Structure 1
């Protein structure tokens, strides 16, 4: 059993940081394994480089960190968030738009697959001064790994190749995905604007970013070991969907890392087969695929091996809202949160299942 929460973060950044700290003290927010040690030693060279990036690209997030640190009476320059954010997970992403092949609302759907200990289990509604309002799924307390803003821009991510952090030393320095996604949601209105911002940001992860805007433009932006490639599918093009799991699918990124884990290929081809079938598709079927156990579906329960579904999220650009099924476990049901809603904060229990990891799960295979 885990406890999930809906958290509203409104006002000046420093005050937001203090409020998050107070909520954590009051146990209204989960204490993840990242929070076991709020202060982490950072060498001066790394700290200087980190602060340079934060001051240039996201000073308001740094103010939130300062407020949070003040609440706990710790040195903000040794904050866990700074420690982990300078420079992880498996996911399946699908952007799909209204067409003759798909009878449903335009949506960006994704699973987030990792472990329970690091999952924030929180949906956050950010209303920071001079920034676009958005609702998203919390990552590392002040970051987000998916969300949708007041202009209908939906953004999510999945690891692209070997994840940076616990499993792989970074080949390039830059911001982590949970900061990049928050900046996209706070700053951009369209997929094209999101691409331009990603081009400008120093990115330190191996990640596939997927964006879908209110005009039905779709973006796939992949980065691996500092090499980047991108593709935009505009509303004028015939393709009605875009999907990616955890391996490179664009020319430059494939050339950089021409391999994929067996499970990533299984999930990718599962989506490919469904989307290419000569029949009309609908959102109910897609939800079923995302909540059906692997390998018949995308729902994974292998938490002991850092590959369990912690959340299934659907982002709707037309309505600026998200739908979430915690742990991808249908017994938890689906909850809806809107970017412009005045919902009250809440917390509730969620359940999960644990399964045995297939032997072939992480076998590395060469891309053809």
Structure 2
């Protein structure tokens, strides 16, 4: 099965970013999929209150999507806001952070994958690049200040009405400059489920935030951190999923070996993207298949990314893009093998 990821490059208002994103997804099956897995009605006022507190411009982006898809704002909010989303089971995602680079895999099923890589330069927030989730959210990404972040599902224990982690990531990319800024915002955002957030910045500060609807803890290190799908803070271990912990522990053990012999940026990327790697999975029917690899070098200011089984990674000089030089690529191509 072919996997195609569209590349969007938008330098405009938040409304227009939403409108153009809506045009991109209008004829994609993912819109109908969101309609099946999201609620038909949410508390719009509460959603707006949260957005107005942390990211009011995203309301404009939702308005743009609504106009593009010719649907009411209330419907767009249910489909794409990431607020009060029903429980979903997710499996994979592995990351490693050093003072030099950030590298991660996103593992899930293609039926719930937007298939969009967005590079946006809004008028009123920070520019960023990353993979879309639920249209306006992000799986992972980097912003103009070299702040990188990705999400890692842990469990639905103590599930609560709140924001999905992919919207939290979008808010962080749009408004935070450093790892410390991101940590502080993650302590304030109302989380809906248990997730890890892998974080790094161009000052060499790396962290893993272990977040639940009721508690947020932080792990930090000077050299290397790994992040997978279980909590490592003692106070949170009871919230781990037992059936997934073994796989997560194995991946974490594999990543920890790089502390003694740290690979280069490109070597680490290959450790994640190579289909023969212990970090690459093809259990797509079980929502545990590698869909993309995302990496960022703080010194080089370059993005390195590829989708599953691609024969070529895309490397982006992010500094040049921020200065107005668009990339030529339009689509990332890969292959899904069940």
Q: Place the TM-score, normalised by the shorter chain, in its bin.
A: 0.7 to 0.9
1:184 aligns with 2:172: yes
Deviates more, 1:135-144 or 1:222-231: 222-231
Q: Is the 8 A contact 2:82 2:163 kept in 1?
A: no
Tell me which residue corresponds to 1:212: 200
Deviations 1:236-279 (A, max 9, x none): xxx4100021111122222444845321111111112x2244x4
Deviates more, 1:76-85 or 1:310-319: 76-85
- Given the alignment, which residue of 263, 277, 282 partners 1:281? 263
Deviations 1:188-224 (A, max 9, x none): 1111111111111112131111111111011110113
Q: Is the 8 A contact 1:147 1:322 kept in 2?
A: no
Instruction: Flag structure 2 segments of 5+ consecutive residues without an equivalent.
Output: none
Tell me which residue corresponds to 2:252: 268
Tell me which residue corresponds to 2:273: 291
Tell me which residue corresponds to 2:18: 17
Tell me which residue corresponds to 2:84: 86
Change in CA separation of 1:323 and 1:179 when aligned onto 2, cut-off 3 Å:
same
- Given the alignment, which residue of 48, 52, 56 partners 1:55? 52
Query: What is the alpha-carbon distance in structure 2 between the residues aligned to residue 349 and residue 172 of structure 1?
Result: 36
- Given the alignment, which residue of 233, 249, 256 partners 2:232? 249
Deviations 1:86-110 (A, max 9, x none): 353420010023xxxxxxxx11110
Q: CA deviation at 1:282?
A: 2.8
Query: What is the alpha-carbon distance in structure 2 between the residues aligned to residue 258 and residue 111 of structure 1?
Result: 20
- The SS at the match of 1:264 is helix
- Given the alignment, which residue of 125, 129, 132 partners 2:126? 132
Q: CA deviation at 1:112?
A: 0.3
- The SS at the match of 1:230 is strand
Query: What is the alpha-carbon distance in structure 1 between the residues aligned to residue 128 and residue 299 of structure 2?
Result: 14
Bigger proportion of residues as helix: 2
TM-score by length of 1: 0.80
Q: CA deviation at 1:284?
A: 4.2
Q: Is the 8 A contact 1:172 1:226 kept in 2?
A: no
Change in CA separation of 1:230 and 1:2 when aligned onto 2, cut-off 3 Å:
same
RMSD: 2.5
- The SS at the match of 1:174 is coil
Query: What is the alpha-carbon distance in structure 1 between the residues aligned to residue 34 and residue 193 of structure 2?
Result: 23
Q: How many residues align?
A: 326
Q: Is the 8 A contact 1:209 1:222 kept in 2?
A: yes
TM-score by length of 2: 0.87
Q: Is the 8 A contact 1:65 1:76 kept in 2?
A: yes
Query: What is the alpha-carbon distance in structure 1 between the residues aligned to residue 103 and residue 230 of structure 2?
Result: 17
Deviations 1:18-52 (A, max 9, x none): 22223334x6xxx24344466965436x3332222
